[in-house]
Structure 1
Amino acid sequence: MLITDDFLPVPVPESLSATYLVPVEGLPKVSTKSAVAALAGRIAEPVHGLAKQMLDSPLMSVDVRPIGEFPELPPDLLAAFGASETQLDRLAAATHLVVVQAEYRPGWPPAHEWAARAVAAAVAESVGGDVVDVFGLQFLDPATALRSLPDDTGRIRLVDWVLVPYSSDAEGLWFTTKGLRRFGLLELQTQGVPDHLTRAWGAVMTGAARRLLRDWTDGLSGEEVPAFVQLPVLATVTGHDIAVAYGNPEQHGATAPVLLRLELDPATDPDADSFLSLRPPEGHPGPAGRYFAAACATLFAGIQPDVRYARPGDAMSKAIATARSGLDDVRARFVAGQLPRESQLVVKYGLPGEDGPEYVWAGISSWDTPERIVGVSASDATSDPTVRIGSPVVVEAADVVDWAVLDGTGVIEGGWTQAVLDAGEHPTP
């Protein structure tokens, strides 16, 4: 194997395994084969056939065990990863676990995961219960588990298989992925991410996971499983990668690619995980957090900074009026935590300048009082050298001219002034 500075050799495990649990009260009354047969016509036929084939092979086992024979599932962690009170109550009342396990070689398709999840979902549906994905420590209702399986062309939403948890430390936010090991690849991590990029960087991590997973499986496409796969040291991530990972390929924009340097961070503790770290490219000046903020500004280009108006035209005036009329409502939803999951609320506000106001965007950190917004700048201002990407800002609500809710695919709500600009209706100076 040729080793160069342009590629990073990543070890390939000999085999991969998947484990799913179905908590039940009493013993199942429907056989596993009958439950799987009932999925005919409801999931893609290649996946249905794969599940039946693996169920009849030594590559998969389905056992019913008293719940006391299995290590206790931690309710706190399950709740942290989305388990509802009802699901936790059913787990507490369960007397047995149906344990579905499958094993397969690294590569694509990940037959062990697809088949095991399909079988577990079929069993859970037959008993009116839930699926527990042991790898992700996630509860899945049967319908959600079945929807996550690939379509007739083998496509999946990566967000259904890879989570992006994060935690805070003295240097900022620490992001990791949880799910790439299903496919044999090391998990990703990024450290030192500014706090205001919580949702945006989660989407970037998901897009990076999609790009690297594609490179990884390309390296495993031969008949023999190699000992290593060479991944590019400089990985590129685009808006298309993010949109595809979220299952919305038609929504991607023509964003410029962002470069992220890949480094192997081996664990010093034999019981801990090694990671592939995402860092700025070599030679990038300034702190890593500033590069990450600039990367998000590039990838989520649905909001453009540094827009100037000396005198708004009719279309722009209507756009600003529309945005301001919805400001109280969106603040109430933000404060109540009712905005969509994995979304970010941003506002556009005016800064005084010699040639008229300069309008820039800021991500909102808190909005405790209606008049005052605390956030972090999403762009560099020309008129005020203290307003830089990642710098804290305090915005008066009276200065806000627009707002937008962003997710991994771009603007999902708001952004009226930007829509006017995108339509080419620039105001007359």
Structure 2
Amino acid sequence: MSESIGFTVPERTTSCFVVATGRDPGEPPLAALRGLGEPFAGAAVERLGTPRLTISSYPAAYSPWNIEHATGVTDDDPGAEARALDAAHHIGVKALAPAGDRPFALQLARAVACSIAEHLDAVPVDLDTGQILPARSCLDARFRLADDWLGAWLPPYRNAGRCRVSDDDIDGCACVAYTTRGLTRFGLPELRITGVSCPHDLAALNIVRTAAQRLLPMSDQAGDHTFPRDLPLTGRDFAAFWGAREPVWNDEPVVVRLTPAGPHVMGMGPPEDFPGTLNEWLWDEVPPVLYDLISCGTDHPA
């Protein structure tokens, strides 16, 4: 088997955000753009109406966008899912993003969608992740994958009582699987890890996040990229996912093996020479902090 793996970053990608509103907005609500700060305000004026930034509106019954499964209730809007499902109109904000303009082009479209949603008291939905967007992360000019750009979340198995495996049972089940959503808009393959036992769910999620961040610098470089199948992930990679300066761990990198898992998808698992199972690898090789860390501050690890 080849010891290298690769993918092609496309010259252009697209991303779309939908504003679900209860009333007909009429013409695109340009007044909403006045609430944008820089650098988004000037760029929105310059790009609006070009393929780089388009706004269109449809009655929900004729909408080209399916938001039936949008999730992501926030504390300040507990009824967001119901409001999105019952919305009478959909406003789509779409970005065509050349490689050299990523991630800013995607940030701009999301900021415009969130500004329109705030103006109309509506619900913004990220079509790529299927997530209802919290306003807190939409207008920040800094870019961090952790700001709701990556569709991968902890599953509800334990809270729902569906799995009773002990925390001490390393290979007690295989309930948990993660497949990211949202990386393809950056020109990157989605990442998948399967067969994870419930006690390792957070650690596996954090390894997926770290791998996504490790690949991110390739997103603005169109063309073929080749790199080792056994990819080292560092504490600095995981810190960068959150926008933190200091590495989350200082020990040796965690080496993850990437394998083709479908069109635009890469599987993740232990290196080929690891003598145990996937869950034993997570338990033995993943830094303990990744079993506990839910979020991380932007200046230092939490």
* TM-score, normalized by the shorter chain, greater than 0.5: yes
Aligned equivalents of 2:230, 2:39: Cα separation in 1: 35
- 1:17 corresponds to: 14
Deviation of 1:17 (Å): 0.9
Q: Provide closer, same or farther for how the CA distance between residues 27 and 172 of structure 1 changes in structure 2, counting only shifts above 3 A.
A: closer
**Per-residue deviation, 1:251:** 6.4
Q: Unmatched 5+ residue regions in structure 2?
A: 158-162, 164-172
| Correspondent of 2:150 among 159, 162, 186 | 162
Q: Tell me the CA shift for residue 182 of structure 1.
A: 1.7
The 1:411/1:10 distance shift into structure 2, 3 A limit, reads closer
Tell me the equivalent position of 2:169: none
Contact 1:257 1:299 (C-alpha < 8 Å) held by counterparts:
no
TM-score, normalization by structure 2: 0.80
Deviation at 1:93, TM superposition (A): 4.2
**Unaligned ranges ≥5, structure 1:** 268-273, 302-343, 345-404, 413-429
Distance in structure 1 (CA, Å) of the matches to 2:301 and 2:113? 36
Would you say 1:138 and 2:131 are equivalent positions?
Answer: yes
Matched, 1:284 2:253: no
Match of 1:78 in 2: 70
In structure 1, what is the equivalent of residue 166 of structure 2?
Answer: none
Structure 1 residues 251 and 233: CA distance shift in structure 2, 3 A: closer
Cα distance in 2 for partners of 1:72, 1:105 equals 23
Shift of 1:8: 1.4
Matched residue count = 282
Does the CA-based 8 Å contact 1:23-1:97 persist in structure 2?
A: yes
User: In the alignment, does 2:255 pair up with 1:259?
Assistant: yes
Aligned counterpart, 2:209: 206
- Give the match's secondary structure for 2:208: helix
Deviations 1:28-69 (A, max 9, x none): 3785433213213xxxx3333333322142322211211111
Distance 1:62 1:71 in 2: 13
Query: Among 179, 183, 188, which residue is 2:186 paired with?
Result: 183
Equivalent residue number for residue 59 of structure 1: 52
2: CA distance, partners of 1:47 / 1:35: 12
Between the aligned partners of 1:406 and 1:38, the Cα distance in structure 2 is 34
For 2:5, the equivalent position in structure 1 comes to 8
Tell me the amino acid that sits aligned with residue 8 of structure 2: P
Write the distance in 1 (CA, Å) between the matches of 2:131 and 2:36. 22
Say which one has the larger Rg: 1
Equivalent position to 2:289, from 284, 295, 300: 300
Seq. identity, %: 26
CA distance in 2, matches of 1:99, 1:146: 17
Deviations 1:184-207 (A, max 9, x none): 111011123232011122112111
Give the alignment's Cα RMSD to 1 decimal. 3.0
Work out whether 1:217 is the aligned partner of 2:104.
no
Partner residue in 1 for 2:242 = 246
Query: For residue 357 of structure 1, what is the aligned residue in structure 2?
Result: none
